[in-house]
Structure 1
Amino acid sequence: MQGFKEFILRGNVVELAVAVVIGTAFTNIVTQIVEGLINPLIAAIAGQSDFSDVELGIFKIGLVIGAIINFLIIAAVVYFAMVMPMAKFKERQAKRRGTTEEAAKETDVDVLQDIRELLRQQARTAPPATTQQ
């Protein structure tokens, strides 16, 4: 039970729960904007009374286009409202600390090369292995 308690009380779990709740509420707002403003505009251009009724043969292409528009709007807002400002914030923090982000990053290849060199050094300094019969 202690392990479960530690898992639940970790900051990441709480942050993830908050993100899901906020994301769900935000999705509803964007869906209403798409359905109330954008779909009628595109439907008027297409000559339909309701964008969801736009069909291509037997396929309700309007529903698919609405879902794509909804996704693109959500992705744009997330990028411009969250991702880009956070990247700028991290960049300013790195400048204030006197480090550049490129200098602070260490690739997986660099880490693996460092490990290889350490293993080589240990192999050179280790006493020879004796075989038992």
Structure 2
Amino acid sequence: MLKGFKDFLMRGNVVDLAVAVVIGTAFTAIVTAFTTSLIKPLIASLGSTETAGLGIQLREGKADTYLDFSNVINAAINFVIVAAVVYFVLVLPIKKIQDRRKRGEEPGPAEPTDVELLIEIRDLLKSQQSQQPTTAPDRRGPAI
């Protein structure tokens, strides 16, 4: 059962899909909380005491004109942490398994035999024939 699951994971773009899902969901919330709660206050403390953090106020009295550099740095750190976790937890181990398979140290997914493929083709042809409507053959000859 585990071998079948492992073969499924090694097939096609399943790994790429898993990486995308993980980046989009699982680690994002954790890393965002970490960077927002711990890293962003540290970065914002680098700004002067007269500003709200590491940034520049373009027009006095208009909060919408504040360029917050700490948010940009926070997002970059967030991305690097997520990418590192995905690489070291998913991509690197799977690459090592694929390299072992190429060297022949570990067997790859079992490919179907010729007999299995022929049986599958036969079954498909039977199902297609049973789905076709049956009509009586036309015995009048060719139409002129």
TM-score (norm 2): 0.45
| Structure (1/2) with the larger helix percentage | 1
User: Of Structure 1 and Structure 2, which has the larger fraction of its residues in strand?
Assistant: 2
Bigger relative contact order, structure 1 or 2 (CA pairs below 8 A, ≥6 apart): 2
Question: TM-score, normalized by length of structure 1?
Answer: 0.48
